[in-house]
Amino acid sequence: MNLRLSRRAAMFGTPLLLATQATADPAQIARAFAMRDKAVADGDQPYGAVIVRGSAIIAEMPSRVIVNGDPTAHAEMEAIRAAAKVLGSRDLSGCVLVSSSRPCPMCEAAAHWAGISRMYHGQVGVDAGAPGLCR
C-alpha cells in the first residue's frame, strides 16, 4: 500500500495522508467484468464498474445507456450514483473506482468531483491515477 497526500492536503497544506492501492485487487477487477457481462446480457454496452472503499465493494453497476435511454448512464456514473446513495453522501473520498475499461472524460470528471482517490481499469487493473479534469 502506498501513502500519498490527499488533494485537499496538497491544496491547503493539511497533513492528511491517504492510503492507496498499488494495483487493483483481482477480485474487484472480476466484479467490474461481471458487471460488464451483465450489461451485455441486458442488451447494453459492454462496460462495468465498481466503487471500493478499503477492501469493501460499496457499489457495482453495469452500463445502462441503452436500457435507460440515458447517454450519461455509463457504468462508472451509475456506480458513483449508487455509492453516493449507499454512503449517504456525494463525498466519496477514500474510494477507488475499478472499471472494465478506461473511464471517458465525463466519468473521470464525475469521479474527480466525487473525491474518488484513484482509478484502475482493464483486465490487469491498470493504475490510471487520481481522477482529474481535462486529461
DSSP line for 1-53 = -EEEE-HHHHHH----EEEE-SS--HHHHHHHHHHHHHHHHTTS-S-EEEEEE
Please count the residues of the chain: 135
CA-to-CA distance for 44 and 53, rounded, in angstroms? Answer: 27
Does the annotation count 76 as an active-site position? yes
CA-to-CA distance for 118 and 115, rounded, in angstroms? Answer: 9
In the set 60, 76, 78, 108, the catalytic residue is 76
Give the residue from 53, 57, 56, 69 showing the smallest Cα distance to 118.
Answer: 53
In the block, which residue shows the cell 450519461?
72
Q: Which residues are catalytic?
A: 76
